[in-house]
């Protein structure tokens, strides 16, 4: 559960407070997210988390001028909790409400974290549920350039972590283990790299790790670290190569990388290296704005409100929507 307060100051958005209360401890015994437990945890924490966001911003609820809540895509049980709470608050305060698309939130984190980031730029969204490349043009609206054909890259990190016996959530644990491993100990595939398009695929890489684990039986500690390092290197290679190709094809000189996997240290290092070699600018939000947070949702919501968008109390949450339909919730067109 997360809540944040943001405010517009001059032409930019400032974060007044941002509270994220993770659920890792709730789900860890089951090795992954249990939707019913996620929703129940949201119910029991929403009020306190919103209260903390207000008190850390030094504000009473009455000072709020608008409310944003994630409408989807995601687990509807959890989404409904935040959305219903947001609706009730908006109604009580007589302020407007907007529903935000989760990916529009991730994309908004780029300009929130880096106000100097100038359009046009490419936005690479890499999370547990999505892997997609967008072009954010001068006039605002995003265009989808490529997306994953199977697993999201974060999902692949989580599944491989599970194969290696690491606790949930797997991505950060795998990355930690990989630090002790050798990148060249196993030969793993870089799916779709020779494909001329801009789509991604990660399920073949995950399966290759599963086959190694099956073939070798119980792994020694050093082998686990090697396999983690080789997987991470392959996944990062694919992301970096796709981003470079997209920048070249689109003739764009700026890249923003957002979403939970953008917190990955090896990816940040390799993108920065490619940026120096190819001469593009790379922008990453700080890790706490990469993984799910409410500040990015509030920022996207503020842009929508500033554009005059209003969503009524009949607004519903949704579990899925084509990534190409992620609505633009960035600053108004120039
Ligand atoms: O954006 P996010 O917090 O939630 C979704 O929208 O899915 O992304 C979560 C994903 C998870 O798959 C998690 O394992 C991955 O981001 N992740 C990482 C790291 N931190 C989070 N993957 C690799 N390295 C990390 N440091
Ligand atoms: Zn996310």
Q: How many domains does the chain have?
A: 2
- Does the beta carbon of 131 lie inside 6 Å of ligand 1? no
Q: Tens digit of pLDDT for each residue in 215-252?
A: 999 999 999 999 999 999 999 999 999 999 999 999 99
- Does the beta carbon of 105 lie inside 6 Å of ligand 1? no
Same domain, 160 and 133: yes
Q: Tens digit of pLDDT for each residue in 274-290?
A: 999 999 999 999 999 99
Burial bucket for residue 265 (CB in 10 Å: 0-12, 13-18, 19+): middle
Residue 12 in any domain: the answer is yes
Residue 262 in any domain: the answer is yes
In ligand 1, which atom is closest to the CA atom of 171?
14
Same domain, 207 and 276: yes
Burial bucket for residue 92 (CB in 10 Å: 0-12, 13-18, 19+): exposed
Distance of CA 124 from the midpoint of ligand 1 (Å): 14
Same domain, 139 and 76: no
Q: Tens digit of pLDDT for each residue in 81-92?
A: 999 999 999 999
Pocket test for ligand 1, best of 35, 78, 171, 229 (most atoms within 8 A of CB): 171
Q: What is the pLDDT of residue 11?
A: 84
Residue 111 in any domain: the answer is no
Q: Does residue 331 surpass a pLDDT of 60?
A: no
Same domain, 141 and 242: yes
**HSE-CB for 147 with a 13 A CA cutoff:** 14
Same domain, 133 and 271: yes
Residue of 90, 210, 194 whose CA lies nearest to 162: 210
Residue with tokens 């950060």: 172
The residue nearest atom 23 of ligand 1, judged by CA position, is 171
- Does the beta carbon of 175 lie inside 6 Å of ligand 1? yes
In ligand 1, which atom is closest to the CA atom of 290?
1
Same domain, 194 and 235: yes
In ligand 1, which atom is closest to the CA atom of 102?
6
Q: Residue 193's domain spans which residues? A: 119-284
Query: Average of pLDDT values for 40-58?
Result: 98
Q: Which two tokens stand for residue 331?
A: 């600053």
Residue 24 in any domain: the answer is yes
Q: Tens digit of pLDDT for each residue in 113-159?
A: 999 999 999 999 999 999 999 999 887 778 899 999 999 999 999 99
Same domain, 164 and 270: yes
Same domain, 260 and 164: yes
Q: Are 108 and 306 in contact (CB under 8 A)?
A: no
Long-range own/partner contacts, residues 115-120 (CB < 8 A, 24 or more apart): 115/11, 115/12, 117/254, 117/256, 117/283, 118/254, 119/334, 120/250, 120/252, 120/254
Same domain, 139 and 210: yes
In ligand 1, which atom is closest to the CA atom of 158?
14
> Which neighbouring-strand residues pair with 67?
97
Same domain, 84 and 179: no
Residue 70 in any domain: the answer is yes
Residue 320 in any domain: the answer is no
Residue of 163, 153, 155, 157 whose CA lies nearest to 213: 163
> Which neighbouring-strand residues pair with 200?
148
174: domain CATH number?
A: 3.30.420.40
Q: Using 50, 70 and 90 to split pLDDT, how confident is the model at 301?
A: very high
- Does the beta carbon of 171 lie inside 6 Å of ligand 1? yes
CA distances for 123 relative to 118, 213, 247, 297, angstroms: 12, 34, 10, 16
């Amino acid at each position: 559960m997360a809540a944040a307060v943001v405010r517009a100051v001059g032409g930019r958005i400032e974060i007044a407070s941002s509270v994220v209360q993770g659920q890792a401890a709730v789900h860890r015994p089951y090795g992954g997210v249990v939707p019913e437990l996620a929703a129940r945890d949201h119910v029991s924490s929403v009020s306190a988390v919103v209260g903390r966001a207000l008190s850390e911003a030094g504000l009473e609820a009455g000072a709020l001028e608008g409310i944003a809540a994630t409408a989807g895509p995601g687990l509807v049980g959890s989404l409904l909790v935040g959305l219903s709470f947001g609706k009730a608050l908006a109604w009580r305060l007589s302020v407007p409400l907007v529903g935000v698309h989760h990916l529009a939130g991730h994309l908004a984190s780029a300009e929130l974290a880096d106000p100097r980031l100038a359009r046009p730029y490419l936005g690479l969204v890499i999370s547990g549920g999505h892997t997609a490349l967008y072009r954010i043009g001068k006039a605002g609206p995003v265009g989808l350039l490529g997306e994953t054909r199977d697993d999201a890259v974060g999902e692949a990190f989580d599944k491989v972590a599970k194969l290696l016996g690491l606790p949930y959530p797997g991505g950060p644990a795998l990355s930690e283990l990989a630090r002790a491993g050798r990148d060249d100990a196993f030969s793993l595939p870089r799916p779709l790299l020779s494909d001329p398009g801009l789509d991604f695929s990660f399920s073949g890489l995950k399966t290759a790790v599963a086959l190694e684990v099956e073939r070798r039986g119980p792994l020694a500690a050093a082998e686990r670290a090697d396999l983690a390092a080789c997987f991470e290197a392959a996944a990062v290679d694919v992301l970096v190569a796709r981003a470079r190709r997209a920048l070249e094809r689109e003739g764009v000189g700026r890249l923003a990388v957002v979403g939970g996997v953008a917190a990955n240290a090896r990816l940040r290092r390799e993108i920065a290296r490619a940026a120096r070699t190819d001469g593009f600018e790379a922008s990453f939000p700080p890790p706490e704005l990469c993984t799910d947070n409410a500040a990015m949702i509030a920022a996207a919501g503020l842009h929508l409100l500033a554009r005059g968008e209003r969503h009524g109390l009949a607004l519903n949450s949704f579990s899925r929507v084509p990534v190409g339909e992620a609505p633009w919730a960035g600053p108004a067109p120039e």
